[in-house]
Amino acid sequence: MWPNNKRYYTLDCFYKEKFHSKIAKVSLNGNFTCPNRDGTKGVGGCIYCSNLKSGDYAGDASKDIITQFNDIKKVMLHKWKDAKFIAYFQAGTNTYAPVERLKELFEPVLKIKDVVGLSIATRPDAISDECLEYLSDLNKRTYLTVELGLQSIHDETSKLINRCHTLKEFHDMVLKLRERKINVVVHIINGLPYETKEMMLETVKYLNNLDIQGIKIHMLHILKNTKLADMYNKEHFHVLTKDEYIDIVVSELELLRPEIVINRITGDPNPDELIEPTWLIKKFVVLNDIDKELKKRDTYQGKKVKKDI
C-alpha cells in the first residue's frame, strides 16, 4: 500500500515524494508533426488521432510557448496556489525537428519561475543522435522525462493503427535513453481493434522487463473525423465495456514492478468529439471502480511480478 492508500504507485504520489510539493503538468503545443503524418514513414498519422495530434488539451498552437504556458498556469494556480510545474510538450512528435528548433521551444520554459521539469512526448523513431545528446544535456539541468508512444507490442496491431515504427526501434531507443539516465515513460492503449486481453497483458509483461520508470495506460476512444471512426462504422469491432477495461487494468497492474510509476490509468477524451466508449467520460467513476476492484480482489501493483525480474 502506497502513502496515499492506493494499491498502485500514482504519479501524484511520486511527485510529492520527489518534489515535496503539488506538481501540475502544463500541456503545450509546439506545432510538431509526425513521421507517419508527413509522408516520411506514412500519411494520416495513427488512425485514432484527431487533427490535434493527441493534443486535445494542449495549449493553443497559434500562440507562442510562453503565452501558452502562462495562460494554462493561471488556471492551475486557482486550483493549486502553491503548485510547481512541469512543462509537458504533448501534441505531435516533440523531438521531430532540428535540435535548434527544439532549443527554441524547450529552453524558454525552463527559465519560468517554479518550473521544475520537462516532459517530452515523442516516438521511438524520431530521436536523432544529435537530439539524444541534447536530451542528455537537458537531463543534467532539469527533471526530464521522455514519453515514448508504443501502444502495443503486436506487429499486426501496429500495422493496423498505422504506427509505422518497429518494436525493435522502440526497444533500442529505450536502451539509448537509459544509457544516458533519462527517465522513460511508455504509452500503451487497451482495447485496440481485435486485440484480446491476453495480447494486452503480453504488452505489459514485455514492458515490465524493460528499464522504464513509468507507464501511461489509455483506453482506446473513437473520436469523430478519424480513420478509426470510419473503421468502426464499417466493421463494428468490439469496444471494451467499463467492466472489461477495469478487469484488464487490474490484471496489468499486478504484472508491473511496484517501482514503475503509473502516470495515467484511463483515457480523458473530449466529450464533444467522442463516439465510443461513452462510459469513459466519467473519469473519476472509472478511477474509483479500479480502486474498488483492486480491493475486492485483495491485490495490488506488482503482486504477480516474478521475483527474478
Closest CA to 262 of 220, 301, 206: 301
Helices 167-179, 129-141: axis angle to 10 degrees equals 40
Q: Counting Cβ atoms within 10 Å, is residue 70 exposed (0-12), middle (13-18) or buried (19+)? A: middle
Note the pLDDT of residue 267.
85
How much of the chain exceeds pLDDT 90, in percent? 90
Domain count across the chain: 1
In a domain, 147, yes or no: yes
Note the pLDDT of residue 173.
98
In a domain, 4, yes or no: no
Q: Distance (Å, rounded) from C-alpha 193 to C-alpha 224?
A: 16
pTM value?
0.95
Per-residue pLDDT tens over the stretch 255-308: 999 999 999 999 889 899 999 999 999 999 999 999 999 999 999 999 999 764
**Backbone φ, ψ for residue 219 (5° rounding):** -100, 130
In a domain, 306, yes or no: no
In a domain, 5, yes or no: no
Which DSSP symbol is given to 222? Answer: E
Note the pLDDT of residue 192.
98
In a domain, 304, yes or no: no
Q: Is the backbone peptide bond immediately before 3 cis, with ω within 30 degrees of 0?
A: no
In a domain, 6, yes or no: no
Q: Given a cut of 80, is residue 68 above it in pLDDT?
A: yes
By residue range, what is the domain housing residue 83? 11-297
Stretch 77-90: mean pLDDT, rounded? Answer: 94
What's the distance, CA 129 to chain centroid?
23
Q: Distance (Å, rounded) from C-alpha 283 to C-alpha 170?
A: 29
Grid coordinates representing 72? 494554462
In a domain, 42, yes or no: yes
Grid coordinates representing 130? 544529435
Per-residue pLDDT tens over the stretch 162-190: 999 999 999 999 999 999 999 999 999 99
Q: Given a cut of 50, is residue 120 above it in pLDDT?
A: yes
Note the pLDDT of residue 308.
46
What's 151's domain CATH number?
3.20.20.70
In a domain, 284, yes or no: yes
Helices 99-110, 65-79: axis angle to 10 degrees equals 40
Band of residue 109 on the pLDDT scale cut at 50, 70, 90:
very high
